[in-house]
């Protein structure tokens, strides 16, 4: 079963990420919001949610603002 979380980092601009959990793995994506459709680029894979959030912090250089 797949579970997806939206993660917003602090600051304006391109600050949206998502974490998709499937089969015990957490896949981390950088989301680029488009006019008609969004695109997602895979930036990492880990076994824990905490490590997935660390990947996002490292990639963005910012702290987490919101997880939904």
Q: Copy the structure tokens of residue 52.
A: 């997935």
Q: Return averaged pLDDT per consecutive 10 residues of the chain, 68 residues in all.
A: 88 90 96 92 98 97 95
pTM of the model: 0.91
**What is the residue extent of each domain of the chain?**
3-67
Would you say 55 and 64 are in contact if contact means Cβ atoms under 8 Å apart?
A: no
Q: What is the pLDDT of residue 14?
A: 84
Q: What is the pLDDT of residue 1?
A: 53
Residue 68's nearest CA partner among 13, 5, 8, 26 is 5
Q: What is the pLDDT of residue 27?
A: 98
Q: Copy the structure tokens of residue 27.
A: 């896949």
């Amino acid at each position: 079963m797949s579970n997806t979380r939206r993660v917003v980092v602090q600051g304006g601009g391109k600050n949206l990420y998502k974490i998709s959990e499937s089969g015990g793995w957490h896949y981390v994506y950088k989301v680029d919001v488009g006019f008609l459709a969004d695109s997602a680029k895979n930036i990492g894979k880990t076994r824990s949610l905490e490590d997935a959030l660390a990947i996002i912090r490292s990639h963005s250089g910012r702290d987490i603002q919101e997880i939904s």
